[in-house]
Amino acid sequence: MASIYQRPIAFAVTAAVVVLVGTLVTVIIPLFMPSTQPVKEYVKPYTAIELEGRDIYIREGCNNCHTQTVRPIRTEVARYGDYSKPEEFAYDRPFLWGSKRTGPDLARIGGKYPDAWHYKHMNDPRSMFAKSNMPAYGWLAKRPLDTSLSYKKTKVLGYGYTEEEVRRQIEEYRRKVTSPDYPAKKIRDQITPPELRDRLTEMDAIVAYLQKIGRDYKETQKGVVQAAAVETFEEMKNPYEGMPEAIEQGREIFQEKCSACHGPDAKGSIGPNLTDDEWKYGWSDREVFISISNGRPNGMPAWGQILSEDDIWKVIAYIRSLKI
């Protein structure tokens, strides 16, 4: 009998069987295992607008520079937030975990900043971080959002919305971003051409999507973190109050981390003015420290894991120095 090295068809069949063994064990069988498709109540499908935003994220290839999984590594959790859970991706088709982290991970970006921050950043990343190498995406605000396929998309993905519901979601979101009370109105108007200001743009959709990523999981964690953190900071005094060297260091940190939102002179932009007397969350050392360390609900990020305790005090010393 001839060996398979003399019989091309037999050879090909054998080769197919050989490559199918590993395929079967490592990818086909897992398709049917619960551990690869866990379902949890708290994870909600994307709204039609968020989905359109996600499709723009895919179209522009954002995944070539941004990952969307936080790994269970201490410094990574400190930098980005809790590590990713398998159920969080139940509605992700395709998955967008990425393979290269040229920019930061985005798995926990939702709710980290206010909408205004994203409009400003997407429009011109270097206006906020001089050293960023991210492309500017201002042109997204100049393109109306195409929603003609939105319903069909949610249907293919099995999100279970009716056509009526999809229309409502789109109209609701349009009303939100075009309302005079929309907190990001100023910057949105600035970058959106007049004829599109009362319509949805691709920029609106991508901001909606960014605000969704990781948000469902964060909601489940909210109460826990807040409560724990406050207790730790009873009775606190700024050790650097009035020390010129520390104030200078605080200024540098402020310019790098805070000026994007609070303005280069701390007189406010996306975030509030820090040189006046209006302090929504109080202005004792302890209260300001908590605002910076834990963040505040309308978009102030929690800096506690990024800045050391000392650095936070120096920033506070700097802010205080502005008031006199």
Residues that bind ligand HEM (CB under 6 A): 99-100, 102
Residue placing its CB nearer to ligand HEM in the complex, 114 or 125? 125
Of residues 19 through 48, those in contact with another protein by CB under 8 A are: 19-23, 25-27, 30-31, 33, 35-37
Structure tokens at 134: 């991210």
Determine the Cα–Cα distance for residues 142 and 255; give it in Å rounded to an integer.
30
User: Which does residue 85 bind out of another protein, ligand HEM, none, counting CB within 5 to 8 angstroms by kind?
Assistant: another protein
In contact, 177 and 188? CB cutoff 8 Å = yes
Q: How many residues belong to the site for another protein (CB under 8 A)?
A: 86
Q: How far is the CB of 157 from another protein (least distance, A)?
A: 6
Asked if 92 interacts with another protein (CB under 8 A), we say yes
User: Which does residue 215 bind out of another protein, ligand HEM, none, counting CB within 5 to 8 angstroms by kind?
Assistant: none
Tell the residue number behind the tokens 């975990």, with chain if given.
Answer: 97
In contact, 266 and 279? CB cutoff 8 Å = no
Residue placing its CB nearer to ligand HEM in the complex, 101 or 323? 101
> Which of 208, 1, 16, 197 minimizes the C-alpha distance to 109?
208
Binding test (CB under 8 A) with another protein, winner from 40, 101, 186, 280: 101
Asked if 127 interacts with another protein (CB under 8 A), we say no
Binding test (CB under 8 A) with another protein, winner from 1, 6, 41, 234: 6
Cβ-proximal residues to 16 (8 Å cutoff; 6+ apart), any chain: none
Q: How far is the CB of 14 from ligand HEM (least distance, A)?
A: 22
CA 204 to chain centre: 14
Structure tokens at 139: 């042109």
Residue placing its CB nearer to ligand HEM in the complex, 133 or 221? 133
Kindly give the residue spans of alpha helices, DSSP state H, lying in 148-212.
150-156, 163-178, 185-191, 202-212
> Which of 160, 146, 150 minimizes the C-alpha distance to 202?
146
Asked if 71 interacts with another protein (CB under 8 A), we say yes
Binding test (CB under 8 A) with another protein, winner from 76, 165, 241, 287: 76
Determine the Cα–Cα distance for residues 291 and 282; give it in Å rounded to an integer.
9
Asked if 78 interacts with another protein (CB under 8 A), we say yes
User: Which does residue 81 bind out of ligand HEM, another protein, none, counting CB within 5 to 8 angstroms by kind?
Assistant: none
| Strand (E) or helix (H) holding 38 | none
Binding test (CB under 8 A) with another protein, winner from 44, 157, 183, 229: 157
Residue placing its CB nearer to another protein in the complex, 5 or 194? 5
CA 104 to chain centre: 10
